Amino acid sequence: MKKVIFACLFFLAGFSLFAQVIRNASIFVPPVTGVGRAEDNAFFYRHISSGVILFHYSLVRLPHICDFILKGTIVSINEDIESLIKGAPNLSLVERRGLRDYYSWSTNGTVIYGVTERYDPFAMPARPDILSVTSEYEYILILDLINNTTGDIRARQQLVYSVADDSIADLLSVMVFNMLAGIPDIEETHNWREKWLFAELSALWSPRIYFYQQQSINWLNFGLKTMLEYHFLNFLTFGTGLQFVQDWVQTSTGEYRDLILEIPFILKGVIKPAGQFLLEPYTGITINQSLLETTMPSRFSWIGGLQLCVKAGNGMITVDARFSRDLAKSVIPEREMYYDRNSIQIGIGYKYGFILKRNRRDY
Of 8-22, 39-53, 142-156, 239-253, where does mean pLDDT reach its minimum?
8-22
What is the predicted pLDDT for the residue at 1?
A: 42
Confidence check: pLDDT of 354 > 70 = yes
Q: Pick 90 or 32 by higher pLDDT.
A: 32
Long-range contacts of 120-128 (CB under 8 A, 24+ apart): 125/93, 125/96, 125/101, 126/101, 127/88, 127/91, 128/85, 128/88, 128/91, 128/103
Judge contact between 99 and 120, C-beta under 8 A. no
- Look at residue 108 in the predicted model and tell me its pLDDT: 53
- For the ranges 15-24, 107-116, 324-333, the lowest mean pLDDT is seen at 15-24
Given CA atoms 118, 120, 124, 130 in this order, what sign does their dihedral have?
negative
3-state secondary structure of 82: helix
Q: Which residue has the higher pLDDT, 348 or 159?
A: 348
Instruction: Output the CA torsion 167→172→173→176 (10° steps).
Output: 180
Q: How far is CA 265 from CA 49, 262, 290, in A?
A: 47, 10, 18
Residues 248-273: what's their mean pLDDT?
A: 89
Which of the four pLDDT bands, split at 50, 70 and 90, describes residue 126? very low
| CA atoms of 103 and 206, how far apart (whole Å) | 73
Domain 18-188, CATH 3.40.50 — does that match?
yes
* Residue 215 pLDDT grade (very low, low, confident, very high; cuts 50, 70, 90): confident
The rounded distance, in Å, linking the Cα atoms of 234 and 294 is 43
Q: What is the reported pLDDT for 277?
A: 83
Name the pTM for this structure: 0.50
H-run or E-run covering 259:
strand 254-269
**pLDDT at residue number 57:** 85
Residue 9: pLDDT over 50 = no
- Distance CA(272)–CA(280), nearest Å, equals 9
pLDDT of residue 23: 67
> Does the structure show a pLDDT above 60 at 28?
yes
Two domains, one topology: 18-188 and 195-356: no
Q: Which is more confidently placed, 124 or 301?
A: 301
Could you tell me what percent of the chain has a pLDDT over 70? 73
Query: What top-level class would CATH report for the domain 195-356?
Result: mainly beta
Average pLDDT over residues 64-68: 81
Conformational region of residue 34, where left means phi above 0, alpha means psi within -120 to 50, and beta covers everything else: left
Q: What is the DSSP string of 7-70?
A: HHHHHHHHHHHHT-EEEPPEEE-PPPEESS-HHHHHHHHHHHHHHHHHTT-EEES-GGG-SEEE
Domain boundaries, the chain: 18-188, 195-356
234, amino acid identity: N
Across-strand partners of 261?
244, 289
**Helices 38-54, 169-181: crossing angle, 10 deg rounding:** 50
**What is the C-alpha to C-alpha distance for residues 146 and 196, in angstroms, rounded to an integer?**
24
179/111 Cα distance (integer angstroms): 10
